Amino acid sequence: MTTEPRLRNVRDLPHALEAFEALGAALNGAVPAIFLDYDGTLTPIVDRPENAILSAEGRAVVGALARRVPVAVVSGRDRPDVEALVGIDSLTFAGSHGFDIRTPEAGVLSLEGIGDYTALMNDVERVLNEGLGPIAGALVERKRFSAAAHYRLVSDADYPAFRAALDRLLETVPGIKEKTGKKVFEFQPAIDWDKGKAVEHLLSTLKLDDAGHRPMFFGDDVTDEDAFGALQGLGGVGVLAAPASDGDAGRVSAADFRVDNPDQVLELLRRLTP
């Protein structure tokens, strides 16, 4: 039976650096198994996806962490893209919001119930390019199991046309679902899989689902809520990278703690494994 996650207003989440003892208590002496989102968590949000570059310091912090505890990156990006951006071969990577997983030991995992959606995603990409091509600033980003339609650089005046093109996609291509993110809509195969299910799968595959480990997920966006929710049922700890008030006073989250931004994520990762 799936239970609904417990949600709290983001402003009510304890700040993980200020409440570090409480976070330590939540880990209860177990080794943290760390799951990291990329955009908005390890790197600040920027205007174009290709400009979200992990700092040398960020790479050093994640690399040092991975020498001490299990670390996986779980991203909405295409897996090879985020692997190249992070640049640490020893990590496990899940791309396309968890649909595409590779571990250093086992290679690319074959996931039960997830087939070859290449033809479907090719259709999605084609229809998006046709519809969004004339709209200034619209970006289409193809991933193996997902296609993103970015509108960060689309003017307010052009937004209705941008949205209308996405509605046409949903009307003409069956078998897909839409997810929202930061100034982006993502289109994926309409199957019951998300970052939360990917984390659960990894905990079992990597044999981290024992009393000696406790999963921690760091994320910033709506799709990360699936992982925060999953962790609630697993005794894990979710850390949201978001200020207490970012203009969305009603934002709620299934995370347990928060930090303000990617710099503070790195600070917390340093403190977790001194």
Is residue 49 at the binding interface for ligand L263DTV3, with CB under 6 A as the rule? Answer: yes
Rounded distance between C-alpha atoms, residue 134 and residue 248, angstroms = 31
Is residue 148 at the binding interface for ligand L263DTV3, with CB under 6 A as the rule? Answer: yes
| Binders in 220-259 for ligand L263DTV3, by CB under 6 A | 221, 223
| Region binding ligand L263DTV3 by CB under 6 A among candidate stretches 60-68, 120-128, 180-188, 241-249 | 180-188
Are 95 and 108 in contact by the 8 Å Cβ rule? The answer is: no
**Percent composition of the chain: helix, strand, coil (DSSP 3-state, to 5):** 35, 25, 40
Q: What is the 3-state secondary structure (H, E, C) of 127-138?
A: HHHHHHCCCCCC
Residues in the chain: 274
- DSSP line for 44-92: ---SSGGG-PPPHHHHHHHHHHHTTS-EEEE-SS-HHHHHHHH--TTSE
Rounded distance between C-alpha atoms, residue 267 and residue 57, angstroms = 11
Cβ at position 154, least distance to ligand L263DTV3 in Å: 11
Distances (CA, A) of 191 to 6, 93, 119, 127, 224: 24, 20, 16, 20, 17
Reading the block at residue 51, the tokens are 């400009």
> Is 47 one of the annotated active-site residues of the chain?
no
Residue 220 or 256 with smaller CB distance to ligand L263DTV3: 220
Is residue 152 at the binding interface for ligand L263DTV3, with CB under 6 A as the rule? Answer: yes
Task: Sketch the per residue contact string, 127 through 146, with ligand L263DTV3: x for CB under 6 A, - otherwise.
Answer: --------------x-----
| Region binding ligand L263DTV3 by CB under 6 A among candidate stretches 73-81, 101-109, 112-120, 161-169 | 73-81
The residue number whose beta carbon is nearest to ligand L263DTV3 equals: 76
Number of H helices, E strands in the chain: 8, 14
Catalytic hit among 37, 220, 224, 226: 37
Cβ at position 167, least distance to ligand L263DTV3 in Å: 19
Is residue 270 at the binding interface for ligand L263DTV3, with CB under 6 A as the rule? Answer: no
Residue 11 or 152 with smaller CB distance to ligand L263DTV3: 152
Residue 178, strand partner residues:
187
Task: Sketch the per residue contact string, 181 through 200, with ligand L263DTV3: x for CB under 6 A, - otherwise.
Answer: xxxx-x--------------
Specify the DSSP class assigned to residue 191.
S
| Of 38, 99, 117, 193, the one binding ligand L263DTV3 by CB under 6 A | 38
Q: Give the residues lining the site for ligand L263DTV3 (CB under 6 A).
A: 37-40, 45-49, 52, 75-77, 141, 148, 150, 152, 181-184, 186, 221, 223
Active site residues: 37
